[in-house]
Amino acid sequence: IKCWVSRCLRCDKRKPLQNVALKKPTVQSSTSSPPFLSSKAVDGYKNGNIRGAGFSHTKEETNPWWRVDLLAVYKVNAVTIINRQDCCSERILGVEIRIGDSLDQSGNQNPRCGIIESLDGTPTYTFHCNEMEGRYINVFMPAPLRVLTLCEVEVFASLPGIAVLSSGICGSCLFLFV
Ligand SMILES: [Ca+2]
């Protein structure tokens, strides 16, 4: 017999949302040279030093972009972009974070969560996406002759239908189909 059951969750403020982008499939509009693969932006290595080549890097082109496939539709709470730190930090200016399920125009026309409009002196930029839903996260630079380089992109998200153990919804209930 199948039925819906619910289980109320114990409040656990210590458990943060997971970075669901880690080691997921990625692609970018071009790759400047072999060490700078799109996957370097989800390899978990956040030190933006060129010697470690822990970042992705497109060729200089018009409208460069990068995308991660989360392999399922998630509710996105926040996206963090960690910029390269050894040089060229201004290259990140103007990038847009796009979230959705469409691959029209490579996913770059999905709804926008955020844009980096100014350099704030840190390599880390976090955008709150208010549970926007989508399978694809694009980082899109809508400008001519630009290089897109990303040290790390982290996506903090949960699967729809599964309650989140975060401080905001302590005491909510989890529904299971058994
Ligand atoms: Ca990295």
- CATH code of the domain containing 94: 2.60.120.260
Reported confidence tier of residue 42, pLDDT bands at 50, 70, 90: very high
Within a domain: 87:
yes
The CA 116 to ligand 1 mean position distance, Å, reads 19
Within a domain: 172:
no
Within a domain: 29:
yes
Reported confidence tier of residue 47, pLDDT bands at 50, 70, 90: confident
* Predicted confidence (pLDDT) at residue 1 exceeds the cutoff of 90: no
**Token code pair at residue 154:** 């982290």
Within a domain: 119:
yes
The CA 8 to ligand 1 mean position distance, Å, reads 37
State pTM to two decimals: 0.83
CA angle 95, 97, 100 (to 5 degrees): 145
Q: Which domain holds residue 145?
A: 17-160
Structurally, the chain folds into a number of domains equal to: 1
Question: Which pLDDT belongs to residue 51?
Answer: 66
Within a domain: 171:
no
